[in-house]
Structure 1
């Protein structure tokens, strides 16, 4: 179920590295090098499969940009926050 803007903004207080715009959650992570970035992406991919929820993302050298929304709901849902939480845990370990 799509979350309303007030609920999203409230939940974002727990995710300082994430922003909400264009109907999605967005974040950007910078790593020391390409290898570390790709390693994090690989770990995130396994989490995505486990949750059956997949991000829109791009990578350029050591920077990973991620956008999360739930296509079926046409917006942000609890699934997006669950994946953001998993991503945060993975990225924290990499840093």
Structure 2
């Protein structure tokens, strides 16, 4: 997997809501209503990470989830990071819809 250049990253970020690029990685954070909802999202994300064999750096403090994506083998952001970020956004959107019901 090849590292993307800054122009490719900036272009792809225009299609990816709530993510930023700095320190050779994609970054975001999500706030949930409570710890249970945050952990539920993390578990759903974990299954997708295993399927892609690509794993985030993340931290969870109560209802907040901070995620950093980078491909260490490539030394920066690759297509795989954008694939996972897109999946994560879809999972979190599902979580938000579930909470409203």
Q: Normalising by structure 2, what TM-score?
A: 0.93
Moved runs in structure 1, 4+ residues, more than 6 A? none
Match for residue 52 of structure 1? 53
2:73 is the alignment partner of 1:72? yes
| Structure 1: gaps spanning 5 or more residues | none
In structure 2, C-alpha distance between the alignment counterparts of 1:93 and 1:3, rounded to whole Å: 29
Distance apart, 1:31 and its partner CA: 0.3
What is the deviation of 1:16? 2.3
Q: Give the RMSD, CA atoms, in angstroms.
A: 0.4
1:7 lines up with 2:8 in the alignment:
yes
TM-score using structure 1 length: 0.99
**5+ residue gaps, structure 2:** 97-101
Aligned residue pairs: how many?
Answer: 95
- The separation in 2 between residues aligned to 1:93 and 1:32, in whole angstroms, is 14
